[in-house]
A and B are shown apart, each in its own frame.
Chain A
Amino acid sequence: MKNKLKVFRAIHDLTQEALAEKVGMTRQTINAVEKGKYNPSLNLAFKLAGLFGVKIEDLFIYGCDEDER
């Protein structure tokens, strides 16, 4: 699953560390989500979308590659 986390992070001028702190995660988790290595839970996805003021589907693009978990 691809995402635009890096773009929205840049728009809001947030570092991975700052974003991680805002959503109560570790920087490593934000990095893994950003790189598409880890698919976040619905809870985290809603938190991230809510923080950037967008819909989940604006932030995460489903069906870009095989969704293997």
Chain B
Amino acid sequence: MENKKEIKRVQVIFLVALLGSIGLGYALGFLIGSYWVAFSIILVGALSSAIYIKRVTDRYKLGDERSDYIDGRASALAFKISFATSGVLLAVISGVYVELEVQIPSLVVLGPIVALMGFTYAISSHYYTKKYS
């Protein structure tokens, strides 16, 4: 399959670009002594290589509408659950702050929400794949 070979080649380019930007980011960050430089280079490298692989893969992959449908449903469910949960969580945190004047750092709140979103997506993706297969 021509497409599979092409996608494989692109995946290698993606990995090299990703690992290269991580290496370059760390090296420059270490030399300059700034974590922000390292973080920026890694972020730009990771994002641009991810966009590149997505564009190429979309061009070459078979138009599998079922996987797009499953992905859409899983994403929607993950968003709905995470949105509702984070709403309740933020309301509780606000209540705690108003009543007890205890402030909770944003990272402590955002981390579990993002983790919940990822976990819900993985579970719902698995569920819908089973359902539509």
Contacts and interface: CB of A to CB of B under 8 A. Distances in A.
Contact of A24 (B62, B67, B133): B62
A37 interface: yes
B131 A25 contact: no
A44 B133 contact: no
B66 A32 contact: yes
Contacts of B132: 32, 37-38
A35 B66 CA distance: 14
A26 interface: yes
Interface string A1-32: 00000000000000000001000111011011
B63 interface: yes
Contacts of B62: 20, 24-26
Given A29-B64, A32-B66, A41-B65, 9 more contacts: A24-B62, A25-B65, A25-B66, A26-B62, A26-B67, A31-B133, A32-B133, A43-B65, A44-B65
Interface size grouping (class) on chain B? 10 to 19
Nearest to B65: A41
A14 to B, nearest CB: 16
Nearest to A35: B133
Interface residues of A, number: 14
Interface string B52-81: 000000000011111101000000000000
A68 B12 CA distance: 41
Nearest to B133: A32
Contact of B64 (A25, A31, A37): A25
Contacts of B65: 25, 29, 40-41, 43-44
A38 B66 contact: yes
A32 to B, nearest CB: 5
A20 B62 CA distance: 9
